[in-house]
Structure 1
Amino acid sequence: MSDTELLARCTTILPGHRPRRPAEMFSAMAAWCEANGISHDVYGEGALIQDFERKVAELLGFEAAVFCISGTMTQVTALRLAAMERGKAPVALHPTSHIFVHEGSNYQLLHHFDALSVGDRHRPWTAADITDIPDRLSAVSLEIPMREIGGQLSAWDELEAIKAHCKQQDIHLHMDGARLWEAAAGYGRPLAEIAAGFDSVYVSLYKGIGGLGGAMLLGSSEFVARAAKWFARQGGKLVHQSPYVVAAAMQFDARLASMPPLFRRTQFLYDVLRDHPVIKVNPAAPQANMLHLHLPVSRERALEIRRKLAAEHGIWTFHRINHGVLPDTSYFECYVGDNLLDTPDGRVREAVALLAAELAAAIG
């Protein structure tokens, strides 16, 4: 039986949100459009998209926002503009930045900007990571939270110090806010307070929000207008962007309202995991509704355990898993979404205990 077939038979799925089938998603979109009298935009012009852009801009405390079909395009464009404004001085990126890890050197091959890898790849930035750089910088791009290290956040006082330094030195401070919605619960602060002091912010409309795709870039009216022109130059303006906007807008408020309960569910999961030290957790305490679980077995053995738990108990423990740094270790990301929120406490405890027992048996 394939993994896809096993997953379909599982009654308990721990990570993520329950995916909607295309027919289900499109039906919900059609009903929402009918109820709200929605018309298509034309190359980004229209009430639907422009009202949603204003809503997101006001929520985060910015003058303006513009939709872009791709988060990858959104980020490198914002940083390119910042570099162009400052003599093409380099951009500071964390070693785990999405731009380094997942974007195939686009910033370099497409001549967007020069980049410096700054900080410890296993830790979020401190202010000293930025203030100690001797080079002139055009921009600093800070991911909130940092996905590749388990959803960690820079400490609030460190973040405030980074903001102050960038303002004093005329360094464009950009936020990779792909999961900013999740970070608000972790910081325990309003979105606008977190975003205050940034010159631009990118947010995703499909990760925590659950849309079909797309992103928004926020900043001053002048900066956003320039970015929109560059999106068009790069083929990022579709004749109708409304499907992507509808898919996000129709559930935006509900998804934001779900973030505090998801964070509380993450805290519950941490409590469960404390009883099973064979599973190591990063970060040590929840900072967003995501975490990394480190296992004392190889990636291949972990996949065998996943198949066994799925076949024998109907439990799906993780989606993707990575090789660990040490031999015969592995780790996976757990995003706490609707699946874990809707699973009874006892079943969560059972699932974690079964995983821990298999791991203990595997290492003797």
Structure 2
Amino acid sequence: MTDAELLKQCHTVLPGHRARTPAEMFSAMAAWCEANDVAHDVYGSGELIQQFEQKVASLLGFEAAVFCISGTMAQVTALRLACEDRASRLVALHPTSHIFVHEKSNYQLLGHFDALHVGDRHRPFTAADLATIPDRLGAVGLELPMREIGGQAPSWDELEAIKAHCRNRNVHLHMDGARLWEAAAGYNRPAQEIAAGFDSCYVSLYKGIGGLGGAMLAGSASFVARAAEWFRRQGGNVIHRSPYVVAAAMQFEQRLAQMPLYFRRTERLYETLRDYPSIKVNPASPQANMLHLHLPVSRERALAIRNDIARDHKVWLFGRAAHGALPGTSVVELYVGDNLTGMPDHAVRTALDLLCAAIEKTA
């Protein structure tokens, strides 16, 4: 049985939001389009998409924003243009940056820029880490929060220090804001305040928002216009972006309004996890509505436990699992969304009891 088939038969699912079927999603989109008299855009020109682009730009405190078919395209394009403006091809990125981990060396093979690792892979980099780089940088890319290390983020004072460092050295500061709305709840500050001091920002239209896909890139009007031209050059000139925009716009305010609730549920989950010492949690305290669980079993065993519990108890514990730094350990991710928010504490404890009982049998 495939992972998708196992997940579908589960009555209790811990991570994320309840997944809509295509029929449910398309039906909701159709009803929203009918209620709002939506017309297709044509190559990005249309009332719905342009209003939504401006809405996102305003929320982030930028002059303009433009839709892009993927964050992968949006980010390397933004960093390429930033480097052209500063006459330096060097970009400083955290070792766990999405660009390094998930994008198949696109920045290098497509000739966008040259990249340097900055900081320790297990924690966010600091202004002091940036100061150790002797080279003149064109840009710095900062992910808020940092998914690959459990949703960690710099402290507010450290974030301000990074902004000041880049500003004083005329380095373009770009935000990978794939989960910015989640970071805003963790910082307990509006997204615009977090984005202030950044020169550009990418946000996802599907991760925390639950849309079909797509992204927005925000910045100055001239920077965004140049980026839009580069998207076209790279094959991103989709004739109708309206399906992606509708899927995000129809639930955008609701999702943003729920982010503080998701964060409070994450805080409660941390309290529960203290009763399960065999599970180590990263970060030590919540910084966004996501976290990593470090398990004392191998990746293969963690996935087998997940599948056994899904099959026998109809409980889905987590999605992907990764190898831990130590032999015989693994790391799994939990994104706290609608599923956990609507789940009573006793159901969460039942799921964790099942997980820990299986771990103890392995030991």
TM-score by length of 1: 0.98
CA distance in 1, matches of 2:214, 2:303: 32
Partner in structure 1 of residue 157 of structure 2: 157
Partner in structure 1 of residue 182 of structure 2: 182
The answer to whether the 8 A contact 1:6-1:310 is kept is yes
The answer to whether the 8 A contact 1:272-1:352 is kept is no
The answer to whether the 8 A contact 1:182-1:288 is kept is yes
CA distance in 2, matches of 1:241, 1:71: 14
User: 1:72-151 maps to which residues of 2 (within 5 A)?
Assistant: 72-151=72-151
Q: From the superposition, tell whether residues 4 and 219 of structure 1 become closer, same or farther in structure 2 (CA, over 3 Å).
A: closer
CA distance in 1, matches of 2:298, 2:80: 40
CA distance in 2, matches of 1:360, 1:145: 32
CA distance in 2, matches of 1:191, 1:3: 35
Partner in structure 2 of residue 267 of structure 1: 267
Tell me whether 307-316 or 24-33 shows the greater mean CA deviation.
307-316
In the alignment, structure 1 segments of 5+ residues that lack a partner are none
SS state at 1:57 partner: helix
The answer to whether the 8 A contact 2:71-2:204 is kept is yes
Partner in structure 1 of residue 235 of structure 2: 235
Return the offset for 1:103: 0.3
Return the offset for 1:5: 3.0
Partner in structure 2 of residue 199 of structure 1: 199
- The one-letter amino acid paired with 2:342 is D
Query: Number of residue pairs matched?
Result: 363
Give % identity: 73
- CA offset digits 1:319-359 (Å, max 9, x no partner): 11111111111111111111111112110111112211221
In the alignment, structure 2 segments of 5+ residues that lack a partner are none
The answer to whether the 8 A contact 2:146-2:152 is kept is yes
TM-score by length of 2: 0.98
Partner in structure 1 of residue 249 of structure 2: 249
2:317 paired with 1:356: no
Return the offset for 1:360: 2.0
Partner in structure 2 of residue 53 of structure 1: 53
CA distance in 1, matches of 2:72, 2:313: 39
- CA offset digits 1:211-238 (Å, max 9, x no partner): 1110001011111111111111111111
Partner in structure 2 of residue 332 of structure 1: 332
- The one-letter amino acid paired with 2:185 is A
The answer to whether the 8 A contact 2:88-2:136 is kept is no
SS state at 2:285 partner: coil
The answer to whether the 8 A contact 1:150-1:291 is kept is yes
CA distance in 1, matches of 2:87, 2:306: 51
User: 1:27-46 maps to which residues of 2 (within 5 A)?
Assistant: 27-46=27-46
- The one-letter amino acid paired with 2:66 is V
